[in-house]
Amino acid sequence: MNFFRKTAALVTAATLAFGACAGKKENTAASRNTDSQKKLIAVFIPGAASGSPIYEMLINGVKRAVSEHPNTSVQIIEGGYNQAEWEGKLTAIAASDKYDLIVSSNPSLPELARSVSRKFPKQHFLLLDGELSGVPNIYTLRYNQREQAYMAGYLAALLIEEYGSGGIGLIAGQEYPAMTQTILPGYREGAAAVNHDIAVDFRIAGNWYDAAKCAELAAGMIKDGIRVLLCIAGGANEGAVQAAVEAPSGGARIIWFDTNGYAVRPPYIVGSSVVFQDKAAYNKTKLFLEGKLPFGAAELVGVRDGYVDFIEDDPLYAAAVSAGVREKQHEMLTRLRSGSLILGERP
Ligand code: RBF
């Protein structure tokens, strides 16, 4: 664990130092305003990009928008896993006065950005996977994660029904309001729609990077009879996958969250409940570059907006899950996509 912490700290220091050196006087946000076209965007990763699909998508989306826009460039700044340092790092980025926009993602960012904007009210923020409205320089977009988790829970319960025994679980990197108030209840709700009596074994890994710890946790759950596990623990997910593969008598199965994860370890990954954060990052960065991002607003997007879905058209899904289960899952998805099943933001 220490090794991971130290490595993260080094990467962080290096990236911040790079960020600090890269700034040239003539390239400040203030001078760019007079120089009209040039724009510099910072993507602040609260954690590390590698292994966390939600952050990888963020970077890809912003890079794509920037590549299509002349005179625009982007710097990726990793904040590392010490959450107590994030506000100070964001403050330093804002204080550098280099960036026209700071882009970031996760539910803790809006409050940090609000605090930074008190000191630097001219700094603009585009924050995904979080919510805050009414602050003039901050725009937020979050996903309907009740829908995202419901689709995972529904599949988990269908699989248990097919196996004839066993339970379902959820491993989260840490405990936070979006997890306890939306994702976990949504997962439970989806499972209960298939089998009212099914319980969810919910465990916290304690961080977003320690795969060995996550493997230990998952192995314990599997030993207790859990056969389908939803993993939302960033880089630590690989530990749960390993535990599922190594489990006796055919192994347990994993449902992936945020991106298409079937290829991570076929055929152990049996579902992918996704958010199209790359698309959101692209669209909203593009709007910013066109001067049209509605700062002060907080958007919520879901399945019918095209930002949340379950990946069904991957041949690895068909190879991992029986036709009978896929058919029932498809029937639920059709109801959700058509609007005949409506799941508001909170269960
Ligand atoms: N998700 C990740 O995949 N990797 C992370 O490093 C990560 N760090 C987080 C830190 C905080 C403080 C919070 C509140 C959430 C974090 N998440 C992380 C979860 C992420 O925001 C989102 O809820 C999940 O990816 C599910 O969509």
pLDDT at residue 21 tops 60: no
Per residue in 248-287, pLDDT tens?
Answer: 887 899 999 999 999 999 999 999 999 999 999 999 999 9
**How far are the Cα atoms of 172, 235, 317, 338 from residue 246, in angstroms, in the given order?**
20, 19, 20, 39
How far apart (Å, rounded) are the C-alpha atoms in residues 56 and 78? Answer: 12
Whether 261 lines ligand 1, by a CB cut-off of 6 Å, is no
CA atoms within 13 A on the CB side of 155: 31
Locate 177 and state its tokens.
Answer: 């309001």
Strand pairing category for 167-172 and 226-232: parallel
Answer with the residue of higher pLDDT: 7 or 146. Answer: 146
Which atom, in ligand 1's list, is nearest to the CA of 83? 12
- pLDDT averaged over every residue in the chain: 91
Q: For 145-275+312-338, which CATH class? A: alpha beta
Confidence tier at 340 by pLDDT (50, 70, 90) = very high
Residue 3 CB partners (closer than 8 Å, separation 6+): none
Whether 152 lines ligand 1, by a CB cut-off of 6 Å, is no
How far apart (Å, rounded) are the C-alpha atoms in residues 57 and 59? Answer: 5
Per residue in 280-294, pLDDT tens?
Answer: 999 999 999 999 999
Whether 244 lines ligand 1, by a CB cut-off of 6 Å, is no
Confidence tier at 25 by pLDDT (50, 70, 90) = very low
Locate 149 and state its tokens.
Answer: 């988790």
What's the whole-model pTM score?
0.91
Which atom, in ligand 1's list, is nearest to the CA of 48? 6
Locate 327 and state its tokens.
Answer: 């058919």
Calculate what percentage of the chain has a pLDDT beyond 70. 89
Whether 234 lines ligand 1, by a CB cut-off of 6 Å, is yes
Domain ranges of the chain: 1-37, 39-143+279-303, 145-275+312-338
Which atom, in ligand 1's list, is nearest to the CA of 105? 21
Which residue(s) pair with 269 in the sheet?
A: 254
How far apart (Å, rounded) are the C-alpha atoms in residues 16 and 9? Answer: 10
pLDDT at residue 150 tops 90: yes
Cis peptide, bond prior to residue 267, ω within 30 of zero? yes
Average pLDDT over residues 75-104: 98
Whether 237 lines ligand 1, by a CB cut-off of 6 Å, is no
How far apart (Å, rounded) are the C-alpha atoms in residues 253 and 243? Answer: 10
Measured in Å, residue 234 CA sits from the centre of ligand 1 at 7
Nearest CA-CA partner of 16 in 50, 44, 49: 44
End-to-end Cα separation, the chain, in angstroms: 36
How far apart (Å, rounded) are the C-alpha atoms in residues 22 and 96? Answer: 11
pLDDT at 206 (0 to 100): 97
Measured in Å, residue 90 CA sits from the centre of ligand 1 at 17
Same fold yes or no, 39-143+279-303 and 145-275+312-338: yes
Whether 210 lines ligand 1, by a CB cut-off of 6 Å, is no
pLDDT at 249 (0 to 100): 81
Measured in Å, residue 106 CA sits from the centre of ligand 1 at 6
Residue owning the nearest CA to atom 10 of ligand 1: 106
Per residue in 188-236, pLDDT tens?
Answer: 999 999 999 999 999 999 999 999 999 999 999 999 999 999 999 999 9
Whether 83 lines ligand 1, by a CB cut-off of 6 Å, is yes
CA 70 to chain centre: 29
Whether 186 lines ligand 1, by a CB cut-off of 6 Å, is no
pLDDT at 35 (0 to 100): 52
What is the three-state SS of the chain? CHHHHHHHHHHHHHHHHHHHHHCCHHHCHHHHHHCCCCEEEEEEECCCCCCCHHHHHHHHHHHHHHHCCCCEEEEEEECCCCHHHHHHHHHHHHHCCCCCEEEEECCCHHHHHHHHHHHCCCCEEEEECCCCCCCCCEEEEEECHHHHHHHHHHHHHHHHHHHCCCEEEEEECCCCHHHHHHHHHHHHHHHHHHCCCCCEEEEECCCCCCHHHHHHHHHHHHHCCEEEEEEECHHHHHHHHHHHHHCCCCCCEEEEEECCCHHHCCCCEEEEEEECHHHHHHHHHHHHHCCCCCCCCEEEECHHHCCEEECCCCHHHHHHCCHHHHHHHHHHHHHHHHCCCCCCCCC
Enter the CATH code of domain 39-143+279-303.
Answer: 3.40.50.2300
Nearest CA-CA partner of 39 in 296, 298, 294, 286: 286
Residue owning the nearest CA to atom 2 of ligand 1: 234
Best mutation site among 89, 106, 273, 277 for ligand 1 pocket (most ligand atoms within 8 Å of CB) = 106
Whether 176 lines ligand 1, by a CB cut-off of 6 Å, is yes
